[in-house]
Amino acid sequence: MQLYNTLSAEERAQLIDEAGKERLTLSFYAYAKIEDPKKFRDDLFIAWNALDALGRIYVATEGINAQMSVPAENFEAFRDTLEAYDFMKGIRLNVAVEQDNHSFLKLTIKVRNKIVADGLNDETFDVTNKGIHLKAQEFNNMLEDPNTIVVDFRNHYESEVGHFEGAITPDVENFRESLPIINEQLQDYKEDKNLLMYCTGGIRCEKASAYFKHQGFKNVYQLEGGIIEYTRQIKEENIESKFIGKNFVFDHRLGERITDDIISQCHQCGKPCDNHTNCANDACHLLFIQCDECKAKMENCCSTECLETIHLPWEEQVARRKGLQVGNKIFRKGKSDALKFKQSGDLSTLTLAKATKAKTNDVRQKIKVKKTLIGKAEHYFTKSKIAQFLIENNGLAVGDKVLISGPTTGEQQITITELFANGISTETAKVGDQITFVLPFRVRLSDKLYKIL
């Protein structure tokens, strides 16, 4: 039996679209002693693959950390696979505030030394001596206490788009960096202050609270279930949100809105914006904040250099990367000098703009679009704004409504008004034809062409 993915992200996305069924994005973690992480990993893969569960999961001798996408109809069966293990009986599943069927497109379960890279030697302190867990209203109440210090244990690019009022937001790129910095910064408050900590789903605070108690902090508290669970509770119990803005998440969505306050700026033009994107240049993939206008102008790129690069022939792009360090090996997330309006460290909760309300049932509407795969993108002629595709299935005709879909392009719908097949103007095209038509946006080699039925 193959205990790994055999489908590409694009192929999986197509199957999800064709199934037309709603999926749930969720996360969970558990610290526990796992004697054989490799066997545990393989058993989970077999069980979850059978349920069409996807996601990114880390297992280690200390436990499990998972972010996943599960078919809604298989949710209870998925929960049963967790209940089979004593340490996961009754485990809290943090269901996402906003749903997206494409949040995860592969099932990846990796065995790691730790489920969170914290840089700590667990043998030097009691990892079970954790801080006191607080529910949403309790957390809000303690925030009002002038004797409280609240600390964000997430990274700078997470806290930039949203954080709690009055929180200390360290200028760090990873959890490992934050621990010694915060410890040194708060040395004078060990005895008499309430140390209140939070993160996305709670897992980072589980270890951090024990670490800070070991360091001598007397009054240590943590937000139970992190921002995700906090959001669920404030919505269900009609509690005021002390979290302002958007919660960054580590899947295709890159964020889910908690309040409609926009407290960050487009890193390129300074316009109020809190939408992250990854640079379209495969040698970069820098994570940064980009507004819709800059996204269109810069074609999802972080700099003019990257914009020029993506218009080179694919073979030349590959050749230029050969032997070079690329992506996160050379760039810090959101820290490129090409970004003029980046912010980190001491952040404000000043509202720069209000987000427009999302239409209800957007996910369901997206699922209802019935389509069939026609072909794949081959080239985009920038100056003439003409896209080229190869027809691999069925046919296409003038007047057909099509959808172009890809990881960077997103999902774009247009109606074919003029069509060329193999360089000749035509009303219809068939399998094997190389077709071209005018398209106001750039396509990429990963893009697929669908006919909307």
- pLDDT tens digit sequence for 49-70: 999 999 999 999 999 999 999 9
Percent of the chain exceeding pLDDT 70 equals 93
Residue 187's pLDDT is 84
Domains of the chain: residue spans and CATH: 9-111 (3.30.70.100), 122-236 (3.40.250.10), 369-452 (2.40.30.10)
Which of 8-22, 250-264, 433-447 is predicted least confidently? 8-22
Q: How far apart are CA 136 and CA 142, in angstroms?
A: 10
Please give the DSSP secondary-structure letter assigned to residue 52: T
Mean pLDDT of 332-346: 77
Please give the DSSP secondary-structure letter assigned to residue 252: T
Residue 83's pLDDT is 94
Q: Is 43 helix (H, G, I), strand (E, B) or coil?
A: helix
What's phi and psi for 65, nearest 5 deg? -135, 120
Confidence of residue 407 (pLDDT cuts 50, 70, 90): low
Catalytically active residues are: 199
Residue 364's pLDDT is 31
Confidence of residue 363 (pLDDT cuts 50, 70, 90): very low
Please give the DSSP secondary-structure letter assigned to residue 319: H
Residue 77's pLDDT is 96
Q: How far apart are CA 13 and CA 109, in angstroms?
A: 19
Is residue 331 scored above 60 in pLDDT?
Answer: no
pLDDT digit string, tens, across residues 111-146: 999 898 877 777 777 778 889 999 999 999 999 999
Alpha carbon 49 to chain centroid, angstroms: 21
Confidence of residue 270 (pLDDT cuts 50, 70, 90): very high
pLDDT digit string, tens, across residues 161-190: 999 999 999 888 778 888 888 888 888 888
Query: Which residues fall within 8 angstroms of residue 238, CB to CB, at 6 or more apart?
Result: none
Is residue 368 scored above 80 in pLDDT?
Answer: no
The letter for the amino acid at 140 is: N
Return the bridge partners of 424, or none. 421
Confidence of residue 334 (pLDDT cuts 50, 70, 90): low
User: Which ranges constitute the DSSP H helices of 20-106?
Assistant: 37-50, 75-83
Tokens of 10: 């694009």
Is residue 229 scored above 50 in pLDDT?
Answer: yes
pTM of the model: 0.72
Please give the DSSP secondary-structure letter assigned to residue 123: G
Residue 2's pLDDT is 61
* Greater pLDDT, 175 or 26: 26
C-alpha distances out from residue 442 to 22, 410, 452, Å? 29, 11, 20
Query: How many CA atoms lie less than 13 Å away from 451 in the CB half-sphere?
Result: 18
Task: Report the interhelical angle of 175-185 vs 203-214 (nearest 10°).
Answer: 40
Mean pLDDT across the chain, nearest whole number? 87
Q: How far apart are CA 48 and CA 286, in angstroms?
A: 32
Q: How far apart are CA 185 and CA 342, in angstroms?
A: 23
Burial 181-191 (b: 16+ CB within 10 A, else e): ebbeebeeeee
Residue 357's pLDDT is 63
Query: Which residues fall within 8 angstroms of residue 330, CB to CB, at 6 or more apart?
Result: none
Alpha carbon 421 to chain centroid, angstroms: 39
Is residue 233 scored above 50 in pLDDT?
Answer: yes
CB 246 within 8 A of CB 235: no
Residue 326's pLDDT is 58
